[in-house]
Amino acid sequence: MNIYNPEYAIEVNHLTKEFGEFTAVNDISFNVKKGEIFGFLGANGAGKTTVIRMLIGLLRATKGDILINGIDIRYHVEEVKKTIGYMSQKFSLYNDLTAIENMRFFGGIYGLSGKEIRERSDELLDQFKLQPLRKKIVGSLPIGWKQKLAFCTTMIHQPSIIFLDEPTSGVDPIIRRQFWEIIYELSNKLITILVTTHNMDEAEYCHYTSMMVKGKIIALDSPLELKKQYNAQNMNEVFLQLATT
Amino acid sequence: MKKNYKILKGLIVKEFTHILRDWRTLILLLGMPGVLVLLFGYVMNIEIEGADVGIIDNARDTDSQYIINKLENSGFFEVVKYLKSEDDVDAEFKQGTMHMVFVFEKDFGYKLRHENESHIQLITDGSKLLNVSSLVNYATAIIKEYQFSLSYQKVDYLITPEIRMFYNPNLDGRYMSLPGLMAFIIMIVASLIASLSIAKEKELGTMELLLSTPVNRYFVMFAKIVPYSITCFVNVLTIIWLSKYVFEIPIVGNLSLLLGTSVLFILTSLALGLLISSWANSQLTALMLALTGLMLPSALLSGMTFPINSLPLFLQWCSHLIPAKWFMIINRNTLLQGATLEDLRLEVLMLGVMVVVFFGLSIIRFRPRVNN
């Protein structure tokens, strides 16, 4: 039995996921505070995406508890899904629809009214500086803009937690910077962000990070503390030390 | 309630947008069935009036002359050339001057009258498969008629038509029909578009995004079915229209019964498509599964190409599981024989059961699970 701590947006206790014989996620626990930018780090194949899929209710955990805003995902997955936003590793808006059609569609799915969708999408397109792309077919856009649009669409229903699975892979430094500016803005509004990345410069921007290796979390602290602990100049060194041991 | 309606509407609008944006596929979807029916229809209904034939008359007697006259007067055959020997046949067939040659044996009339048996050889161009079998039937009928008229005068004369097929020696009775074609086309189009559309969303990752939202997964499935049912229904209308006005097949039966059962069959096919997509994570897999799992059995075991009662017993049993078989019976009997719902209770019931079973299975299998 877990007693809900209102300070936390995400609580994960002894989470395990097995695929047959293979243990993809091995007894991990961590908490994410509300409004925190949580860097979910790890090498390829460490099990990060599997964890995220369990956190957003796409996969069922083999063992362990997940509380999202104090709600147990096992029993109330639909409730949880309403309050979270997810941007997957692979770009996955509809390529044959325009930017605004994608936003309208996903807004509609979350049950927003036509008026809400109009207001919200205008606000977001302004915030992300995407107004000029409004009526462009998504498939024709360059990858950086696509990613921005995907992030923007994730926000349509004003989620309180956002999961970003490698949002900046394949994105140029200018757009990357814009991404992080927006992430900070959201964090200031007490929106929780869980972000995975391979870019250790980006890891430095996070409030708190976890390092996953082979299905286990082997380090969990702020970037500053981690660097101290491993006597490293930057997060890149921390990562190399941890991931290769 | 109202909210659910709006969500569903949003999903359906999205599906329609996909279809309309991809106009090439749309043209293919709406045009292909028409083109196929026209092609098959013309092949099947080849007019056999005045088929060009050749004669090798080794007998040159009154009996052979009489039969040749009868052939010409029948209106089905037109003698274009008398050939000297069988060696010339191949060249004539290759040039396409004739599709059939009648060979009267030496002393045809003499043997007929004194030995009570003589032979005519019918050599046909087997590469012109579909009209050839009707040509042979007509020719045999004419020869038999002559034989009967002789038997009237005296005892059993026997003229044995020997049929030789060039280029395709083992001609089996082929059985093709527009109703069968309609069942086949609808099955393929419906199951393919349904399975491809879901497999595409899985492949591109949009399904994962969709399932991370609180949307009801049954809504997602339902939204796929609506626009595709309409597309397939348009196909049914096209095919019926073509059969009535282009091929002048009279519609004897109740049109609304036919349309109603078509909807049932479309739903069966779409449900199969959904079921396929629950196994396939990519469009290519979905395509392969639909082609091998549905297209081949529908073509071979539905009675479209081979009559079911000529199949081995085991395959006859298998054919009961082919939805196209039941729909083919329904639409052939309503279209051509004017059967009523009463007559087709079993067939309609079978389709009904299949709709429920296939939808049930695909709902069970359609889980918000994603591959690794």
Q: Give pLDDT tens digits for B319-342.
A: 899 999 999 888 877 876 677 888
- Closest chain A residue to the Cα of B371, Cα to Cα: A59
Statement: residue B370 has pLDDT above 70: no
- Report the C-alpha gap between B38 and B19 in whole angstroms: 25
* Beta carbons of B34 and B42 less than 8 angstroms apart: no
Greater model confidence, B3 or A102: A102
Greater model confidence, B230 or B139: B230
Instruction: Round the average pLDDT of chain A to a whole number and report it.
Output: 91
Q: What does R_g of chain B's alpha carbons equal in angstroms?
A: 27
Q: Give pLDDT tens digits for B253-291.
A: 788 999 999 999 999 999 999 999 988 889 999 999 998
Statement: residue A210 has pLDDT above 70: yes
Shortest Cα distance, chain A CAs vs residue B214, angstroms: 5
The angle, 0 to 180 degrees and rounded to 10, between the axes of the packed helices B283-290 and B255-279 is: 130
Statement: residue A18 has pLDDT above 80: yes
Kindly determine whether residue A105 and residue B211, on different chains, have CB atoms separated by under 8 Å. Answer: no
Kindly determine whether residue A104 and residue B211, on different chains, have CB atoms separated by under 8 Å. Answer: no
Kindly determine whether residue B372 and residue A19, on different chains, have CB atoms separated by under 8 Å. Answer: yes
Whole-number pLDDT of residue B177: 63
- How many CA atoms lie less than 13 Å away from A9 in the CB half-sphere? 22
Statement: residue A186 has pLDDT above 90: yes
Statement: residue B175 has pLDDT above 50: no
Q: How many CB atoms lie within 10 A of CB B195?
A: 29
- Report the C-alpha gap between A215 and B180 in whole angstroms: 56
Statement: residue B367 has pLDDT above 50: yes
Q: Tell me how many degrees the CA angle B15-B16-B20 measures, rounded to the nearest 5.
A: 120
All structural domains of chain B, each given as residue ranges with its CATH number in brackets, are 51-166 (3.40.1710.10), 174-371 (no CATH)
Residue percentage of chain A with pLDDT more than 90: 71
B218 has a chain A CB within 8 A of its CB = no
Overall average pLDDT of the B33-61 stretch: 76
Shortest Cα distance, chain A CAs vs residue B206, angstroms: 5
Among the ranges given (A209-223, B161-175, B233-247), the one the predictor scored with the smallest mean pLDDT? B161-175
Shortest Cα distance, chain B CAs vs residue A76, angstroms: 11
Shortest Cα distance, chain A CAs vs residue B270, angstroms: 22
Whole-number pLDDT of residue A30: 95
Listed residue (B6, B10, B36, B34) closest to B231, CA to CA: B34
Q: Give pLDDT tens digits for B191-205.
A: 999 999 999 999 998
Which positions in chain A touch B9 (Cβ < 8 Å)? Answer: 108
Local confidence band at A119 (pLDDT 50, 70, 90 cut-offs): very high
- Report the C-alpha gap between A215 and A48 in whole angstroms: 8
A45 has a chain B CB within 8 A of its CB = no
Picking from B215, B368, B372, the nearest residue to A109 by CB comes out as B215
B205 has a chain A CB within 8 A of its CB = yes
Which positions in chain B touch A53 (Cβ < 8 Å)? Answer: 370
Greater model confidence, A74 or B51: A74
Shortest Cα distance, chain A CAs vs residue B40, angstroms: 35
Whole-number pLDDT of residue B164: 65
How many residue pairs from chains A and B have C-beta atoms closer than 8 A?
Answer: 76
pTM, entire model: 0.76
Kindly determine whether residue B370 and residue A58, on different chains, have CB atoms separated by under 8 Å. Answer: yes
Overall average pLDDT of the B143-168 stretch: 67
Whole-number pLDDT of residue B253: 79
- Report the C-alpha gap between A160 and B38 in whole angstroms: 58
Q: Give pLDDT tens digits for B12-42.
A: 999 999 999 988 888 988 888 888 888 877 7
Q: Which of the listed ranges B74-78, B97-101, B221-225 does the model predict with the highest average pLDDT?
A: B221-225
Kindly determine whether residue A109 and residue B11, on different chains, have CB atoms separated by under 8 Å. Answer: yes
Which positions in chain B touch A164 (Cβ < 8 Å)? Answer: none
Q: Give pLDDT tens digits for A55-74.
A: 999 899 999 999 999 999 98
Shortest Cα distance, chain A CAs vs residue B280, angstroms: 18
Local confidence band at B173 (pLDDT 50, 70, 90 cut-offs): very low
Kindly determine whether residue B208 and residue A92, on different chains, have CB atoms separated by under 8 Å. Answer: yes
- Closest chain B residue to the Cα of A163, Cα to Cα: B212
A140 has a chain B CB within 8 A of its CB = no
Q: What does R_g of chain A's alpha carbons equal in angstroms?
A: 18
Q: Give pLDDT tens digits for A149-168.
A: 999 999 999 999 999 999 98
Kindly determine whether residue B214 and residue A96, on different chains, have CB atoms separated by under 8 Å. Answer: no
Kindly determine whether residue A81 and residue B369, on different chains, have CB atoms separated by under 8 Å. Answer: no
Whole-number pLDDT of residue B176: 46
- Report the C-alpha gap between A124 and A162 in whole angstroms: 15
Kindly determine whether residue A82 and residue B214, on different chains, have CB atoms separated by under 8 Å. Answer: yes
Statement: residue B169 has pLDDT above 50: no
Q: Give pLDDT tens digits for A222-235.
A: 999 999 999 989 99
A48 has a chain B CB within 8 A of its CB = no
